Amino acid sequence: MTDENVTDSEANNDNTNGIVENYHQLPPPPPPPPPPLLTPLKTILETSCNSTIERSIHNVLRKHFLEQRPITWKPIKVELIVNTQLTDDFFLIRKRFEKGSGGNRYEFEEHYGFLIENDAQVSDICNNGYHCTETSFNVLGHSKCGVYVCKYADVCIRQASVRRTWEGSMTIKMIIFKIVEGKQTAALVRKGPKLQPIAPTPQFTSHCSVITPKETDDLEKQFDQSQIFLYEFEGRETIKRPHHCLPYAIVSLIQDGTQWPVNFDNFDAELDVLETDTLRVIAQTDDQLLQNKLKENIELAEAATRALEHIYEEEPLPPPPPPTVADHVHSPSTNAEILLTTTMSD
């Protein structure tokens, strides 16, 4: 091989190396654009009379009566609340509670809570969530730091009837919430101008009453002891809207001289269709009013389809450890006694 050929070969190698180097120096392709953000869907949808959904909601009410006796208010309309932002927030915090529960299902199990307010407040809660509002009602915690729901539908209705919160209307509206209580502490009810409200407890997310209400208690005591106080910390401060409180349905009730319910039997005679995401309920329903809404509203129909296709992950829980002495120390009744002592020492 001549010197000229060697030189040409070296030049070709240099050129090839340059191409390879330049290839590796090319900037990476731009990432694909993010999917367009979906505007939160907010709407309230009336259900058909005597539909499966309405009967399921009525069963929720009947199952959550403190006293097994009828009331003078009868439900006349059930509406489902659709708010995708509030629903997503609820699922996120429920998952957070589950991961931090150490296998204690009660911390992330869903329960129901009840609240009666006037039309304007009901509308605001459905659209924007349940926000803290400072009031004089601070029986289990300061109202500027958390929100209150009632455990028992009948107690909530009877108390509202006495307070006449519906401002002259012939009907009252009750919001049914789905809630997860998280880590809960128990405390004595505090009432009176000389008693300071109980502050939210760090590392916890709800308060309940140490004393369980009884049928023989007067209405005021029943109502106070039926409250659940929900709050959420962000750093050292509580946020204005606790995310573990999801407005789910509205029940309108009227006094027409009759009593409701007629009986407290057959709670489980029908399938419970009340999934947490109301869009999934709507997507699977045979309710004629809701089906018509899906046909009329493309955005609602698409959102319901997406909700039906979405899978909310449920991580398998570890097997429960065998009971020990420590389990008795941390039982709800023991915790109540400990917190009762703490509360009295304030």
pLDDT of residue 253: 96
pLDDT of residue 14: 53
Report which of 240, 252, 246 is spatially closest to residue 277, judged by C-alpha positions: 246
pLDDT of residue 225: 98
The CATH label, of 1.10.287.3510, 3.30.70.100, 3.40.605.10, 3.90.228.10, for the domain at 42-262 is 3.90.228.10
Neighbouring residues of 99: CB distance < 8 A, sequence distance ≥ 6: 315
Alpha helix locations (H) across the chain? 3-24, 52-63, 84-99, 119-128, 153-163, 219-225, 278-284, 288-296, 298-309, 325-329, 332-344
**Rounded CA separation 304/307 (Å):** 5
- Low-confidence residues in the chain, pLDDT < 70: 1-27, 33-37, 165-169, 268-271, 312-346
Enumerate the domain spans of the chain: 42-262
pLDDT of residue 136: 94
**Rounded CA separation 240/232 (Å):** 8
